[in-house]
Structure 1
Protein backbone atom coordinates (compact mmCIF):
# COMPACT_ATOMS: atom_id res chain seq x y z
CA UNK A 1 0.00 0.00 0.00
CA UNK A 2 1.03 3.59 -0.40
CA UNK A 3 -0.54 5.36 2.55
CA UNK A 4 0.42 9.02 3.07
CA UNK A 5 -0.03 10.30 6.64
CA UNK A 6 0.02 13.85 8.02
CA UNK A 7 -0.12 13.53 11.81
CA UNK A 8 -0.81 16.14 14.49
CA UNK A 9 -2.00 18.80 12.05
CA UNK A 10 -4.85 20.23 14.18
CA UNK A 11 -5.32 20.49 17.93
CA UNK A 12 -8.39 21.98 19.63
CA UNK A 13 -9.51 21.64 23.26
CA UNK A 14 -7.62 18.40 23.66
CA UNK A 15 -8.82 16.78 20.43
CA UNK A 16 -6.15 16.07 17.86
CA UNK A 17 -6.50 15.43 14.15
CA UNK A 18 -4.50 13.71 11.44
CA UNK A 19 -5.27 13.12 7.78
CA UNK A 20 -4.18 10.19 5.61
CA UNK A 21 -4.93 8.78 2.22
CA UNK A 22 -3.89 6.73 -0.71
CA UNK A 23 -5.04 5.17 -3.96
CA UNK A 24 -7.76 2.52 -3.93
CA UNK A 25 -9.76 0.95 -6.74
CA UNK A 26 -12.55 -0.58 -4.63
CA UNK A 27 -13.91 -0.87 -1.10
CA UNK A 28 -11.50 -3.71 -0.33
CA UNK A 29 -8.62 -1.38 -1.23
CA UNK A 30 -10.07 1.32 1.02
CA UNK A 31 -10.41 -1.17 3.89
CA UNK A 32 -6.80 -2.28 3.33
CA UNK A 33 -5.61 1.33 3.72
CA UNK A 34 -7.60 1.67 6.95
CA UNK A 35 -6.11 -1.59 8.23
CA UNK A 36 -2.63 -0.34 7.38
CA UNK A 37 -3.30 2.90 9.27
CA UNK A 38 -4.57 0.99 12.32
CA UNK A 39 -1.37 -1.08 12.45
CA UNK A 40 0.26 2.02 13.93
CA UNK A 41 -0.44 1.81 17.69
CA UNK A 42 -1.14 5.53 17.98
CA UNK A 43 -3.74 5.38 15.20
CA UNK A 44 -5.22 2.14 16.55
CA UNK A 45 -6.16 4.10 19.71
CA UNK A 46 -7.88 6.94 17.81
CA UNK A 47 -11.55 7.68 18.51
CA UNK A 48 -12.64 8.10 14.86
CA UNK A 49 -11.36 7.28 11.38
CA UNK A 50 -13.86 9.06 9.12
CA UNK A 51 -13.22 8.50 5.44
CA UNK A 52 -14.60 8.81 1.94
CA UNK A 53 -13.72 7.96 -1.64
CA UNK A 54 -15.14 7.86 -5.14
CA UNK A 55 -14.35 4.31 -6.22
CA UNK A 56 -15.04 3.34 -9.82
CA UNK A 57 -17.43 6.30 -10.02
CA UNK A 58 -19.37 5.30 -6.88
CA UNK A 59 -19.29 7.48 -3.73
CA UNK A 60 -18.38 5.58 -0.57
CA UNK A 61 -18.11 7.03 2.94
CA UNK A 62 -17.96 6.06 6.59
CA UNK A 63 -18.36 8.48 9.52
CA UNK A 64 -16.97 5.99 12.07
CA UNK A 65 -19.04 7.66 14.78
CA UNK A 66 -18.17 11.25 13.75
CA UNK A 67 -21.62 12.03 12.36
CA UNK A 68 -21.50 13.88 9.04
CA UNK A 69 -17.72 13.78 8.63
CA UNK A 70 -17.73 11.22 5.81
CA UNK A 71 -20.15 13.35 3.78
CA UNK A 72 -17.94 16.42 4.17
CA UNK A 73 -14.88 14.49 2.99
CA UNK A 74 -16.86 13.07 0.06
CA UNK A 75 -18.06 16.52 -1.04
CA UNK A 76 -14.51 17.84 -1.00
CA UNK A 77 -13.26 14.89 -3.06
CA UNK A 78 -16.06 15.47 -5.57
CA UNK A 79 -15.11 19.16 -5.88
CA UNK A 80 -11.45 18.22 -6.31
CA UNK A 81 -12.48 15.56 -8.87
CA UNK A 82 -10.30 13.07 -7.00
CA UNK A 83 -11.35 9.52 -7.80
CA UNK A 84 -10.02 6.09 -6.82
CA UNK A 85 -8.35 7.69 -3.80
CA UNK A 86 -9.32 7.37 -0.13
CA UNK A 87 -8.97 10.26 2.34
CA UNK A 88 -9.16 9.44 6.06
CA UNK A 89 -9.55 12.05 8.80
CA UNK A 90 -8.51 10.67 12.19
CA UNK A 91 -9.57 12.24 15.49
CA UNK A 92 -8.44 11.53 19.02
CA UNK A 93 -11.22 12.87 21.25
CA UNK A 94 -9.90 15.24 23.90
CA UNK A 95 -12.79 15.16 26.36
CA UNK A 96 -14.58 18.35 25.31
CA UNK A 97 -17.35 18.68 22.74
CA UNK A 98 -16.27 20.80 19.76
CA UNK A 99 -19.73 21.42 18.31
CA UNK A 100 -19.62 22.78 14.76
CA UNK A 101 -15.87 23.36 15.00
CA UNK A 102 -15.33 19.64 14.39
CA UNK A 103 -16.66 20.10 10.84
CA UNK A 104 -14.27 22.99 10.26
CA UNK A 105 -11.43 20.75 11.42
CA UNK A 106 -12.47 17.98 9.02
CA UNK A 107 -12.52 20.51 6.15
CA UNK A 108 -9.12 21.90 7.19
CA UNK A 109 -7.64 18.40 7.42
CA UNK A 110 -8.85 17.45 3.93
CA UNK A 111 -7.59 20.78 2.55
CA UNK A 112 -4.21 20.06 4.12
CA UNK A 113 -4.11 16.63 2.48
CA UNK A 114 -5.12 17.89 -0.95
CA UNK A 115 -2.60 20.76 -0.85
CA UNK A 116 0.27 18.69 0.55
CA UNK A 117 -0.21 15.92 -2.02
CA UNK A 118 -0.71 18.34 -4.92
CA UNK A 119 -4.21 17.13 -5.70
Structure 2
Protein backbone atom coordinates (compact mmCIF):
# COMPACT_ATOMS: atom_id res chain seq x y z
CA UNK A 1 0.00 0.00 0.00
CA UNK A 2 1.39 3.35 -1.07
CA UNK A 3 0.02 6.47 0.64
CA UNK A 4 0.77 10.03 -0.46
CA UNK A 5 -0.58 12.28 2.28
CA UNK A 6 -1.31 16.03 2.36
CA UNK A 7 -0.90 16.42 -1.40
CA UNK A 8 -3.64 19.02 -1.99
CA UNK A 9 -5.18 21.62 0.28
CA UNK A 10 -7.99 23.97 -0.74
CA UNK A 11 -10.26 26.12 1.44
CA UNK A 12 -9.70 23.88 4.43
CA UNK A 13 -10.21 20.57 2.63
CA UNK A 14 -7.20 18.26 2.53
CA UNK A 15 -6.53 15.37 0.16
CA UNK A 16 -4.45 12.22 0.15
CA UNK A 17 -4.16 9.45 -2.43
CA UNK A 18 -3.28 5.82 -1.94
CA UNK A 19 -3.28 2.61 -3.90
CA UNK A 20 -1.88 -0.81 -4.48
CA UNK A 21 -2.37 -4.13 -6.23
CA UNK A 22 -5.98 -5.26 -6.12
CA UNK A 23 -7.91 -7.69 -8.35
CA UNK A 24 -11.47 -7.95 -7.02
CA UNK A 25 -14.23 -6.22 -5.10
CA UNK A 26 -13.37 -8.35 -2.06
CA UNK A 27 -9.74 -7.23 -2.23
CA UNK A 28 -10.89 -3.61 -2.67
CA UNK A 29 -13.01 -3.81 0.49
CA UNK A 30 -10.06 -5.35 2.34
CA UNK A 31 -7.80 -2.54 1.05
CA UNK A 32 -10.20 0.15 2.32
CA UNK A 33 -10.53 -1.66 5.65
CA UNK A 34 -6.73 -1.75 6.00
CA UNK A 35 -6.44 1.93 5.02
CA UNK A 36 -9.08 2.86 7.61
CA UNK A 37 -7.11 1.12 10.36
CA UNK A 38 -5.16 4.34 10.30
CA UNK A 39 -7.32 6.56 12.49
CA UNK A 40 -6.79 9.59 10.28
CA UNK A 41 -8.26 7.79 7.23
CA UNK A 42 -11.12 6.29 9.25
CA UNK A 43 -12.13 9.84 10.20
CA UNK A 44 -11.95 11.12 6.60
CA UNK A 45 -15.09 12.53 5.04
CA UNK A 46 -14.64 10.52 1.82
CA UNK A 47 -12.51 7.57 0.68
CA UNK A 48 -13.50 7.41 -3.01
CA UNK A 49 -11.95 4.63 -5.07
CA UNK A 50 -11.90 2.78 -8.38
CA UNK A 51 -10.42 -0.41 -9.79
CA UNK A 52 -10.22 -1.99 -13.24
CA UNK A 53 -10.50 -5.71 -12.50
CA UNK A 54 -10.73 -8.64 -14.91
CA UNK A 55 -14.40 -9.08 -13.95
CA UNK A 56 -15.64 -5.51 -14.29
CA UNK A 57 -14.74 -1.90 -13.56
CA UNK A 58 -15.53 -1.11 -9.92
CA UNK A 59 -15.94 2.24 -8.17
CA UNK A 60 -17.25 3.74 -4.96
CA UNK A 61 -17.88 7.47 -4.43
CA UNK A 62 -18.19 7.19 -0.63
CA UNK A 63 -20.45 10.24 -0.65
CA UNK A 64 -18.30 12.34 -3.02
CA UNK A 65 -20.71 12.07 -5.98
CA UNK A 66 -18.90 11.38 -9.24
CA UNK A 67 -15.42 10.95 -7.75
CA UNK A 68 -15.28 7.19 -8.36
CA UNK A 69 -16.06 7.70 -12.05
CA UNK A 70 -13.31 10.32 -12.36
CA UNK A 71 -10.80 7.85 -10.90
CA UNK A 72 -12.11 5.00 -13.07
CA UNK A 73 -11.81 7.00 -16.30
CA UNK A 74 -8.22 7.90 -15.45
CA UNK A 75 -7.41 4.23 -14.77
CA UNK A 76 -8.96 3.32 -18.13
CA UNK A 77 -6.92 5.98 -19.97
CA UNK A 78 -3.78 4.77 -18.21
CA UNK A 79 -4.62 1.11 -18.91
CA UNK A 80 -3.87 0.28 -15.27
CA UNK A 81 -5.60 -2.98 -14.34
CA UNK A 82 -5.75 -4.79 -11.00
CA UNK A 83 -4.63 -1.71 -9.08
CA UNK A 84 -6.89 0.27 -6.76
CA UNK A 85 -6.57 4.02 -6.34
CA UNK A 86 -8.24 5.74 -3.38
CA UNK A 87 -8.63 9.51 -3.12
CA UNK A 88 -9.27 10.61 0.47
CA UNK A 89 -10.78 13.96 1.38
CA UNK A 90 -11.14 15.63 4.74
CA UNK A 91 -13.87 18.27 4.31
CA UNK A 92 -12.74 21.69 5.48
CA UNK A 93 -16.13 23.37 5.87
CA UNK A 94 -16.34 25.12 2.50
CA UNK A 95 -17.99 23.50 -0.51
CA UNK A 96 -15.57 23.33 -3.44
CA UNK A 97 -18.10 22.86 -6.24
CA UNK A 98 -16.55 21.58 -9.45
CA UNK A 99 -13.03 22.18 -8.11
CA UNK A 100 -13.37 18.95 -6.15
CA UNK A 101 -13.23 16.98 -9.43
CA UNK A 102 -10.06 18.79 -10.45
CA UNK A 103 -8.55 17.87 -7.08
CA UNK A 104 -9.51 14.21 -7.54
CA UNK A 105 -7.88 14.24 -11.00
CA UNK A 106 -4.77 15.96 -9.65
CA UNK A 107 -4.53 13.43 -6.80
CA UNK A 108 -4.74 10.50 -9.23
CA UNK A 109 -2.13 12.14 -11.50
CA UNK A 110 0.22 12.58 -8.53
CA UNK A 111 -0.24 8.91 -7.64
CA UNK A 112 0.33 7.70 -11.21
CA UNK A 113 3.46 9.85 -11.53
CA UNK A 114 4.81 8.40 -8.27
CA UNK A 115 3.97 4.89 -9.49
CA UNK A 116 5.97 5.51 -12.67
CA UNK A 117 8.82 6.96 -10.65
CA UNK A 118 8.47 10.51 -12.03
Aligned twin of 1:54: 52
SS at match of 2:116: coil
SS at match of 1:74: helix
Q: Say if 1:57 and 1:83, in contact at 8 Å, map to a contact too.
A: no
Shift of 1:56: 1.0
Report 1:17-36 matches (<5 A). Answer: 17-36=15-34
Shift of 1:57: 4.7
Q: Say if 1:50 and 1:62, in contact at 8 Å, map to a contact too.
A: yes
Q: How far apart in 1 are the matches of 2:55 and 2:102? A: 26
Stretches of 4+ moved more than 2 A in 1? none
Alpha-carbon RMSD across the aligned residues, in angstroms, is: 1.0
Q: Say if 1:23 and 1:86, in contact at 8 Å, map to a contact too.
A: yes
Q: Which runs of no fewer than 5 residues in structure 1 stay unpaired?
A: none
Shift of 1:25: 1.3
SS at match of 1:98: coil
Q: How far apart in 1 are the matches of 2:108 and 2:81? A: 14
Shift of 1:84: 0.4
Q: TM-score, normalised on structure 2?
A: 0.97
Q: Which runs of no fewer than 5 residues in structure 2 stay unpaired?
A: none
Q: Among residues 94, 99, 102, which one is paired with 1:101 in the alignment?
A: 99
Q: 72-81 or 51-60: which moved more?
A: 51-60
**Number of residue pairs matched?**
117
Q: How far apart in 2 are the matches of 1:85 and 1:56? A: 11
